[in-house]
């Protein structure tokens, strides 16, 4: 089995098998928290307007614009909030920048798309390992087209878990991610150093960082089940 | 001063100041070796045909196609050969895949473009530090759009040298590269593990890898001086 990590999303990349999409600060952590809180499904939309178009009784709108809750939305993109949100049986529409775009890139070609974070790292790696027949690819969202240390570190944690479960052939991206993971015994350190955490500090949301740094605390994994319009529909595996 | 590392080339990236282009296995190492051997200038062309168009008495053609010397060329892309080549006073036209394309990407926007490798790491970092007024960016060529462990490691070595010379603010890419550099005390290890080295082994050219792994053995640095047609002209600084 091949294990591949793409540390930054690129339009020309394509995927044959399983993709673990990683936007640890914060989209894929928040998505996991909403599913854990009981959301019936999660719609990932690429823009705020297409999110608003889904507004309905049993629909909850969440997302961010410059790190903050967009006007008229029910929630921001905070995993702390998401985990406590009364979303049982509801559809959560989540609109963020880097994470959503990356999930759409993976969905263009992959057989299976999973939402992975440190928070659900064990469960996500296990499911990826079960589903894969030839390759597990970890696709990091990064930040506005640039690499994110937080996502690379998370890719390394996922790579480590995958290697425990089976024999994988690692390419250069996966080797780089693993190296990064091994360099930081405490996940808070690379997460705090990342540009994503710096941006959160600027809007007073740095308390989300320790939440995102919890490793394997959740069994919930969002798996792509279909589309409606331009939204990707994820359900808990 | 900002220190940035882009671990894979992307069309949407732009550069304001100094860029160190890195394709350690082998284009930027070979380019350095040709300049050290006395080449008057180095033309980087994006394709074999445009390289052939420069053929003339005082012109030497070098490059690769699938790792090997293209038909009708004087040299391949081997730094061992390049260093011993009788190219004193001649123009060397070098056509490779990833490295050349990456240099062209940098040249689109940067003020200064330098060809960096482990082989000239000290000299290249020193010159970048002297030239920069706001940012030094290290742009890794990678392999067919994917990250290369060899280039990431080299970016880390350059980042380390730059940090010795001055105070830099590091973004996530530079932090990842530095971490990779620190994980491997012996440069041969990450270079041997890289996909680029694997490809060389397949064509029997693995002896180039130890040459590329020499750190700071050469004072020669290619600096972009202009263009002729679609070729970039580099001269020794
Ligand atoms: Ca992020
Ligand atoms: Ca309804
Ligand atoms: Ca290369």
Nearest by CB to B183, from A145, A149, A182: name it. Answer: A182
A175 chain-B contacts, CB cut-off 8 A: 149, 190, 193
Nearest by CB to A195, from B13, B171, B193: name it. Answer: B171
Give the percent of chain A with pLDDT over 70. 100
Q: Is the pLDDT of residue A46 over 90?
A: no
> Tens digit of pLDDT for each residue in A133-163?
999 999 999 998 899 999 999 999 999 999 9
Q: What is the pLDDT of residue B46?
A: 82
CB B133 within 8 A of CB A160: no
Counting ligands in written order, which one lies closest to the CA of residue B152? 3
Domain that holds residue A38: 2-236
- Pairing mode of beta strands B135-140, B222-228: unpaired
Confirm or reject contact between B182 and chain A (CB < 8 A).
Answer: yes
| CA of residue B47 to ligand 3 center, whole Å | 16
State the maximum Cα–Cα separation within chain B, in Å, rounded to a whole number.
48
Tokens (6 digits) for A30: 């928040």
Query: Phi/psi at B5 (nearest 5 deg)?
Result: -130, 120
Kindly state the average pLDDT of the residues B209-231.
Answer: 96
A102 chain-B contacts, CB cut-off 8 A: none
Q: Which residue of B has its CA nearest to A179?
A: B180
C-beta neighbour count of A137 within 10 angstroms: 26
Q: What is the pLDDT of residue B185?
A: 87
Q: Which residues surround ligand 1, an ion (CB under 5 A)?
A: A 23, 25, 196
CB B131 within 8 A of CB B1: no
- For B21, B34, B94, B124, the CA distances from B227, given in Å and listed in that order, are 17, 19, 14, 21
Q: How high is the mean pLDDT of chain A?
A: 96
Kindly state the average pLDDT of the residues B193-217.
Answer: 96
Q: Is the pLDDT of residue A230 over 90?
A: no
Exposed / middle / buried, residue B101 (Cβ in 10 Å: 0-12, 13-18, 19+): middle
- Pairing mode of beta strands A18-22, A135-140: parallel
Distance in angstroms (rounded) separating the CA atoms of residues A67 and A51: 16
A10 chain-B contacts, CB cut-off 8 A: 8, 10, 145
> Tens digit of pLDDT for each residue in B32-90?
999 999 999 999 998 899 999 999 999 999 999 989 999 999 999 999 999 999 999 99
CATH number of the domain bearing residue A230: 3.90.1560.10
Distance in angstroms (rounded) separating the CA atoms of residues B124 and A10: 29
A183 chain-B contacts, CB cut-off 8 A: 179, 182-183
Helix (H, G, I), strand (E, B) or coil at A110: coil
With cut-offs at 50, 70 and 90, classify the pLDDT of residue A7: very high
Q: How many CB pairs under 8 A join A and B?
A: 79
Q: How high is the mean pLDDT of chain B?
A: 96
C-beta neighbour count of A68 within 10 angstroms: 15
Q: What is the pLDDT of residue A195?
A: 97
ipTM here: 0.84
Q: Which residue of A has its CA nearest to B151?
A: A172
Helix (H, G, I), strand (E, B) or coil at A105: helix
Work out how many domains chain B is built from and give that number: 1
CB B143 within 8 A of CB B10: no
Distance in angstroms (rounded) separating the CA atoms of residues A211 and A214: 6
B23 chain-A contacts, CB cut-off 8 A: none
């Amino acid at each position: 089995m091949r294990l591949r990590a793409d540390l930054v999303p690129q339009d020309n990349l394509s995927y044959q098998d399983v993709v673990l999409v990683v936007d640890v600060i914060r989209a894929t952590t928040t998505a996991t928290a909403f599913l854990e809180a009981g959301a019936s499904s999660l719609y990932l939309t690429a823009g705020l307007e297409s999110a608003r178009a889904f507004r309905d009784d049993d629909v909850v709108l969440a997302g961010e614009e410059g790190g903050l809750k967009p006007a008229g939305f029910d929630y921001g993109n905070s995993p702390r909030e998401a985990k406590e949100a009364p979303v049982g049986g509801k559809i959560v529409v989540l609109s963020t920048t880097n994470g959503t775009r990356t999930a759409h890139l993976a969905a263009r070609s992959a057989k299976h798309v999973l939402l992975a974070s440190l928070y659900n790292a064990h469960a996500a790696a296990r499911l990826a390992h079960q589903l894969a027949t030839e390759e597990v690819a970890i696709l990091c969202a990064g930040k506005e087209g640039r690499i994110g240390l937080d996502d690379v570190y998370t890719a390394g944690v996922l790579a480590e878990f995958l290697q425990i479960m089976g024999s994988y052939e690692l390419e250069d991206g996966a080797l780089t991610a693993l190296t990064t993971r091994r360099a930081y015994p405490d996940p808070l350190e690379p997460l705090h150093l990342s540009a994503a955490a710096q941006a959160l500090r600027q809007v007073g949301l740095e308390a989300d960082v320790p939440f995102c740094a919890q490793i394997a605390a959740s069994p919930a994994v969002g798996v792509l089940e279909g589309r409606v319009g331009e939204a990707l529909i994820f359900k808990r595996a």
